Chain A
Amino acid sequence: MGRYVFKLPDVGEGTAEAEIVVWHAAVGEHIEEDQPLVDVLTDKATVEMTAPVSGLVVSVHGEPGEMAAVGSTLAVIETGGADAGEAKAVDPAPRVAPRPLADPTPKPPIRVTTSPTEPAAPPPPSPEVARARSEEPLASPAVRRRAHELGVALQFVTGGGPAGRIRLEDLERFIASPAERPRMNGGARSPRRDGVDQVKIIGLRRKIAEKMQEAKRRIPHFAYVEEIDVTELEELRAHLNVSAQAGRARLTFLPFLIRALVEVLPRYPQINARFDDDAGIVHRHQAVHAGIATQTANGLIVPVLRHAEERDLWDCAAEIARLAAAARDGKATADELRGSTITITSLGPLGGVVTTPVINHPEVAIIGPNKITERPVVRHGQIVIRKVMNLSSSFDHRVVDGYDAADFIQKVKALLEHPATLFMGFE
């Protein structure tokens, strides 16, 4: 009888551990080769692991929700009579998206333990040479590279080889060891945490910090929130998306909001403006260049939808999608990131009930739609279910009066609640 120890393989670049999502096989069940065994979640994707061999599942390690380290034992499968010695040095090849390094780079071999008695037991620790942690660790290039990929500093790994040399198995043991790397379990208690990470505020993050500080320091903000019934608008939006020609961008709420702003803003020129407060001059713009706040891997950036007034809904939707993709890929040009006259900050489904957005200095207004929810509302003395959304906004009180801001938002509300009027021309 042979036993196959299935270890969590390297599921992607830089992944040191993965969360167990669900087991597709239980102890005592027979499993066929290539049949799903377990799903694991990395910070990038859910990956389905299939059984590399057919056989009886003898043990599984880890409950759903637990983290498993790369290289740690996930399951032991008893293969039906196959000689474990000739063994399955097969790579369990998880079904993952093609790795950027798919080819000749050597993959760490998946180790096979063939001891019939205690298949999953870790190797007994070798006699270890005491070594000061500050000393340069002794390890071969392959071990150093593997450690670097896993984000392990070799100074902290105890080497079991001569003169404390760190061997591949030492590294694997370190990764798998609960003593070294506390692991989560289902209980309500977490291990005590004392560390403080110092993070340097550099690059884009520093830019954001400076910009936000400047905006809050210079601009006396006031916030205004109004509730908008978007039931009809949502029906129209759904209809347009269903009946749209193939290949058109899917319409989100944003193009409609932009349509409303484009209609209303000419009546409130003080809101579509940039305030040069050092010079004491407000530049009131006729064009509507809408900043679209976009979350990227590195932080917030605001690409600009130019001349929103010239664009129809689909054009607007396509351009927003293009700008968001460019921003996220880091390919937005400098020109695409400046010159907005008003900014929209939408968190989509994360929109919450109310936000108090920070104005994108030197602009004077920012609009933040919140989450659309179905709520019971009173219409003509009846309680009815309507799709309702809050619209949050902030204005620069130095150049925008509360009355005007409220009036502006009410006009926007009127248009959005009666979507046909969005396309009739204001007045």
Chain B
Amino acid sequence: MSRRVETQVLVVGGGPGGYVAAIRCGQLGLRTVLVEADRLGGTCLIRGCIPSKALIHAASQFHDLTRTDGAVRLGINFEGTAKLDLAKTVRWKDGVVDRLSGGVSGLLKRANVEVVAGWASFSDAKTCKVQMADEVLTIGAEHVILANGSVPVELASIPFGGAVISSTEALALERRPERLVVIGAGYIGLELGVAFRKLGSEVTIIEAMDRVLPAFDRALGEPVARWLKRAGVTVHLGARARSLEDGGHGPTLLIETAEKRPLRLHGDAILVTVGRRPNTQGWGLATMAVDLDGPFVRIDDQCRTSMKNVWAIGDLVGEPMLEHKAAAQGEMVAEIIAGARRHFDPVAIAAVCFTEPEIVSAGLSPDEAKAQGKDAITGVFPFSASGRARSMAAADDEGFVRVVARRDDHRILGVQAVGAHVSELSGEFALALEMGALLEDVAGTIHVHPTLGEAFHEAALRALGHAIHV
């Protein structure tokens, strides 16, 4: 059986870039087909942001019940001890994912998007074949939006399989690994490493650079590094994973430490989180005459590829590989196809790290501002001086809010924060940057007391030289 359909817009990939593009196309009255081989939701929803946040939440709850400075310190005592049933935790997490994936499906349906379940394989830039259960569907399109996403990078010397797992498998473990080795101290490795430590695993982290979270500036990573130390997580900095051995009692990872000495680490699970690469293989990209930019698909500021009416968004087109960037690009491309004049010109794409404590970074750090030749001032407000942080027992993790602004006109260039729940402040930071706020704008905005957001207000006041609470 084979069948051919023609459509105005073909979206490849049902992740946050693809499904948002498809919904917006549908809203604008464009005939739209979305092809996805897996469930709807993409990496973010199925095996990334959402499930990891669910696991992190469960781990934190468990941790609070078991540590002496957790619930117990607040005067909460209970009989017996907290016990973990990870299989059940994973089922709860799967329920969260199922519900959201179903929600995406409903939204697409409401926007009149036709969803085709299968693997799209292109024969030219505007035509793809999808092998479905009972037929081969050929789809011809006037516009193609590529939103194929990314996949975890594999280490050649330590390939995935068996005990060597990627983040995807780590989120589906039915049993808690007694000993977990994490290769790569980027945000994915640290989020999962922290979560498993809270669940009770013995965690060792290996990082080739000289500090954890090398993508963030040093001041932001330090509170996390100190938490790891307090929590008993072993961190090998400047170390390289060399090879995998089976020493009879489970897999053993051979690493070379910063001092060039070999070291053997035993682990029930070895989590490799050394980055992600764009998914450019295996679906006919080579037949589409689309130019690449390194490993990524090359685009302009409207997400146009080198092939007319072929668009690309999300992880496929470069850093930052973040859900919210993909979704914003998807929405924009849909509107351009419908005839709008748009281009991608965000001032900032904030990034969040759900570690312990959490990290937010939006816009320029002090070092980046300096590197760009901008004369900048900074204002830092520590959460130890925040009534709200104190009242939720979150004032002792050395967290802070830091604002970076131009010295001459006080235009805010960047805002960063470390601390419990600071991920929720990311929206205010991004808004301030997009609106072109000055320090005086933030200082002149009355922030509710007692909330964590007051720290942003105080940081702005401090940059202006007249903070109240420090």
Contact = CB atoms under 8 A, between A and B. Distances in A.
Nearest to B27: A103
A266 B339 CA distance: 49
Nearest to A101: B340
Contacts of B370: none
Contacts of A326: none
A293 to B, nearest CB: 22
Interface in A149-168: 149, 151, 162-165
A105 B341 contact: no
Contacts of A349: none
Interface string A80-116: 0000000000000000000111011100000000000
Given A14-B341, A100-B340, A105-B340, A141 B434 contact: yes
A335 interface: no
B410 interface: yes
A145 interface: yes
Interface in A129-183: 129, 138-141, 144-145, 148-149, 151, 162-165
A148 B335 CA distance: 14
Given A101-B335, A101-B338, A101-B339, A163 B434 contact: no
B342 interface: yes
Contacts of B345: 144, 148
B438 interface: yes
Contacts of B27: 103-104
A140 B438 contact: no
B382 to A, nearest CB: 28
Q: Is the interface of B mostly helix, strand, loop or mixed?
A: loop
Nearest to A12: B339
Interface in B418-459: 434-436, 438, 440-441
B411 interface: yes
Given A101-B28, A101-B335, A140 B436 contact: yes
B319 interface: no
Contacts of B411: 138, 163
A13 B339 contact: yes
A103 B434 CA distance: 24
Contacts of B340: 13, 100-101, 105, 149
Given A140-B436, A148-B342, A149-B341, A164 B335 contact: no
A170 to B, nearest CB: 12
A166 B136 CA distance: 54
Contacts of A141: 434-435
A139 B345 CA distance: 12
Interface string B328-348: 000000010011111101000
B341 A148 contact: yes
B245 to A, nearest CB: 54
Given A104-B27, A163-B410, A145 B440 contact: no
Nearest to A150: B341
Contact of A139 (B341, B436, B438, B441): B436
A104 B340 CA distance: 13
Contacts of A144: 345
Most buried by A among B340, B343, B411, B436: B436
Contacts of A165: 436
Interface string B405-418: 00001110000000
B343 A148 contact: yes
Contacts of A99: 339
A104 B29 CA distance: 12
Contacts of B409: 129, 162-164
A163 B341 contact: no
A284 B391 CA distance: 93
Nearest to B345: A144
A13 B434 CA distance: 24
B347 to A, nearest CB: 8
Contacts of A14: 341
B103 to A, nearest CB: 20
B338 A100 contact: yes
B30 to A, nearest CB: 9
Nearest to B440: A162
Nearest to B30: A100
A13 B335 CA distance: 11
Interface in B334-366: 335, 338-343, 345
A101 B337 CA distance: 10
Contacts of B335: 101, 105
Nearest to B410: A163
A28 B345 CA distance: 47
A135 to B, nearest CB: 10
B330 to A, nearest CB: 15
B426 to A, nearest CB: 16
A162 B28 CA distance: 37
B364 to A, nearest CB: 12
A101 B342 CA distance: 12
Contacts of B435: 140-141
Interface in A324-383: none
Contacts of B440: 162
A162 B434 contact: no
Nearest to B337: A100
Nearest to A129: B409
A153 to B, nearest CB: 12
Interface in B356-395: none
A251 B441 CA distance: 69
Interface string B297-321: 0000000000000000000000000
Interface string A409-424: 0000000000000000
Given A129-B409, A138-B411, A163-B410, A13 B438 contact: no
Contacts of A162: 409, 438, 440-441
A103 B28 contact: yes
A94 B217 CA distance: 53
A141 B342 CA distance: 11
A107 to B, nearest CB: 12
Contact of B434 (A101, A105, A140, A151): A140
Contacts of B441: 162
Contacts of B338: 100-101
Nearest to A167: B436
Interface string B96-129: 0000000000000000000000000000000000
Contacts of B339: 13, 99-101
B393 to A, nearest CB: 37
Contacts of A149: 340-341
B28 A163 contact: no
Contacts of B436: 138-140, 163, 165
B438 A100 contact: no
A139 B411 CA distance: 11
Given A100-B28, A100-B339, A140-B434, 9 more contacts: A13-B340, A14-B341, A101-B338, A145-B342, A149-B340, A151-B341, A162-B440, A163-B436, A164-B409
| Top 9 A-B pairs, shortest CB-CB distance | A100-B339, A163-B409, A138-B436, A100-B338, A149-B341, A140-B435, A141-B434, A13-B339, A165-B436
